[in-house]
Amino acid sequence: MPVLDVQGLETTLFTRAGALKAVDGLSFSVEAGETVAIVGESGCGKSLTALSVMRLLPDPPARITGGRVLLDGRDLAALPERAMMAVRGRDVSMIFQDPMSSLNPVQTVGRQLVEVIRAHTGLSRRAAADRALELLDLVRIPDARGRFDEYPHRLSGGMCQRVMIAIAIACRPRVLIADEPTTALDVTIQAQVLDLLKRLQDEVGMAMLVISHDLGVVAETASRVIVMYAGRKVEEAPVEALFDAPLHPYTQGLLAATPNPDAPPHRLAEIPGMVPGLNELPQGCAFAPRCPRATTRCRVERPALHVPAAGRQVACFAVEEEGTIHAAAVSA
């Protein structure tokens, strides 16, 4: 049984324009010790997926309207809020993309860690403070004892992100969700944070779900990748296969628009157009207006996911009609 098993998740935004499906029938699973990444442009539903799993959606306007979110077989989507509060931070935790705004500015980092630990373990304040210092050392905060009584604004962005990671792993969660964990950091600190997450995953054994638009981060961290577009999964593959031989035209466009330091200097390709608004989705494939391979069928029918090879899924009529995968994809 996977640690996290999302089945047909539907998240709906109730707006003046009507009910809009921001996450539409999404299914995926994460095994213990595995890292799965969800990628796509802004507005594709990545962060809403993470918030749906955590049950942190602002209601109104957002609400889970279908599917199941199974954590070790227990459906989080059906839990009462009080029971879900006990799950957050203990069994499933989340690192938010902006650490400076995620930490409480009027409490010291030590106090924030202690509160999380005591809420889920029942340790005394003294024991929780000792555990908090251990965590600050674990995430390699310099002078952990001195930083314990500092307020977030006294720390750099990289150190605040490390504090957020310490809070997230304080109770050794079964699943850690990292939503754009390196977006606000410079390149050097990004590498340090990614290395830290890998090391902690090995030590704690947690499953990890990484939400990112940065394919470089995905290549460094994930073993499996889910590509989303307009709220739906359009491709899923092992990370090596996805980078070596992407199948969906959208995935191909994302990779073509990503700088490659190992390739000769060249002009990056771009995907024409923009992601459609949820109230402007076309009748057929949502990517059809931007797709160089779109046909009449693509504009009137919505492709379902099919399995072109073991461990791969893709929702594309062009790939489906070819019946086979290019040799590069098979070798991947």
The pLDDT value given to residue 96: 86
The pLDDT value given to residue 305: 95
Q: What is the pLDDT of residues 171-212, one digit of tens each?
A: 889 999 999 887 767 777 788 888 888 888 888 789 999 999
Q: Is the pLDDT of residue 239 over 90?
A: yes
Q: What is the pLDDT of residues 18-69, one digit of tens each?
A: 999 999 999 999 999 999 999 999 889 999 999 999 999 988 899 999 999 9
E strands, the chain, are 4-15, 18-30, 35-39, 62-71, 74-75, 92-95, 175-179, 207-212, 224-229, 232-238, 313-314
**pTM of structure:** 0.90
The pLDDT value given to residue 184: 67
Q: What is the pLDDT of residues 126-157, one digit of tens each?
A: 999 999 999 999 888 999 999 999 999 999 88
Q: What is the pLDDT of residues 284-309, one digit of tens each?
A: 999 999 999 999 999 999 999 999 98
The pLDDT value given to residue 200: 84
Helices 157-168/187-204 angle, 10° precision? 20
Q: How far apart are CA 187 and CA 155, in angstroms?
A: 18
| CA nearest to 67, candidates 4, 20, 7 | 7
Q: How far apart are CA 306 and CA 250, in angstroms?
A: 16
Q: How far apart are CA 15 and CA 157, in angstroms?
A: 35
Q: How far apart are CA 84 and CA 74, in angstroms?
A: 11
Q: How far apart are CA 148 and CA 108, in angstroms?
A: 7
The pLDDT value given to residue 332: 32
Q: How far apart are CA 24 and CA 8, in angstroms?
A: 8
Which domains, and CATH codes, for the chain?
4-222 (3.40.50.300), 228-331 (no CATH)
Helix (H) / strand (E) containing 328: helix 327-331
The pLDDT value given to residue 312: 96
Backbone angles phi, psi at 56, to 5 degrees: -115, 20
Residues 6+ apart with CB under 8 A from 265: none
Mean pLDDT (the chain) is 90
Q: What is the pLDDT of residues 317-330, one digit of tens each?
A: 999 888 644 433 33
Question: Which of the two residues, 76 and 262, has the higher pLDDT score?
Answer: 76
The pLDDT value given to residue 329: 38
E strands, 239-307, are none
